[in-house]
Amino acid sequence: MQTDFQVAGQSSQEFALQQNRVLRNTYMLLALSMIPTVLGALVGVQLNFSFMAGSPFISFILFLGIAWGFMWGIEKNKDSGLGVALLLGFTFFMGLMLSRILQVALGFSNGTSMIAMAATGTGAIFFTMATVATVSKRDFSNMGKFLLIGMILVLLAGVANIFFQIPALSLAISAAAVMIFSAYILYDISRIVQGGETNYVSATLSVYLDLYNVFVSLLNLIMAFTGNRD
């Protein structure tokens, strides 16, 4: 009986060590992924990068195609160094795509402060959600279906607004996206803590996309309410 308890205790310790390792590696790779993102954004801003700005719908479809191609490659190679390289390449691409909204923000006289505000807000949301997921030890996996439905609705609304161009709808989409992807941070970090995600490359990809969407949506809201062109 004592041996059984010892084995169970060792298994529990090994599980905890493994998940701590995955979480630590995820945070390290997530931090590293910010470098190509910033570089991509800087290159895009300096070169006035505009990805088919004259055809928003076609641009959106091409963006999805390239992004899904990267994500497919990352998942297929997540157990090798190629997966990490593809992830970093993907974050550079996402930085390039980010440069469009950054150029819009920098068109305001307070553009730099708005970008900093969005970055600070994103960091605060990440810290809060990651802390809740890690400290509470609660299983938030039951949120998955609701978040997926919410994400699909936001995506469909975003596609529709490409054609309708309704400012109020754009704000509503951004507000909903902030809430949904903030909750996704909680969900994704919780999956690591609970053992639902055991690969740090996949985990990093998920959390990176959460942060990216929170930042973009926050920046949209901040520009709408505090943008100053004087």
**Closest to 96 (Cα-Cα) out of 142, 138, 42, 60:** 42
Split at pLDDT 50, 70, 90, the class of 7 is: very low
Please give the residue range of the domain that contains residue 189.
2-226
Q: Which two tokens stand for residue 222?
A: 């901040």
**Mean pLDDT of the residues in the chain:** 89
Q: Percentage of residues in the chain with pLDDT exceeding 90?
A: 64
DSSP code string of 3-69: HHHHHHHHHHHHHHHHHHHHHHHHHHHHHHHHHHHHHHHHHHHHTT--SSTT-HHHHHHHHHHHHHH
pLDDT at 153 over 80: yes
Helix (H, G, I), strand (E, B) or coil at 80: coil
**Do 78 and 183 meet the contact criterion of CB atoms below 8 Å apart?**
no
Predicted local confidence at residue 5, as pLDDT = 46
Write out pLDDT tens, residues 44-94: 998 887 755 667 778 888 888 999 999 999 999 999 999 999 999 999 999
Write out pLDDT tens, residues 154-194: 999 998 988 888 899 999 999 999 999 999 999 999 999 88
Quote the CA–CA distance of 22 and 42 in Å, as a whole number: 30
Q: Which two tokens stand for residue 35?
A: 């470098």
**Distances from the Cα of 20 to the Cαs of 44, 150, 188, 193, in angstroms?**
36, 30, 14, 7
For the chain, helix, strand, coil in percent to 5 are: 85, 0, 15
Quote the CA–CA distance of 224 and 167 in Å, as a whole number: 9
pLDDT at 13 over 80: no
Count of domains for the chain = 1
pLDDT at 225 over 70: yes
Higher-pLDDT residue of 205 and 196 is 205
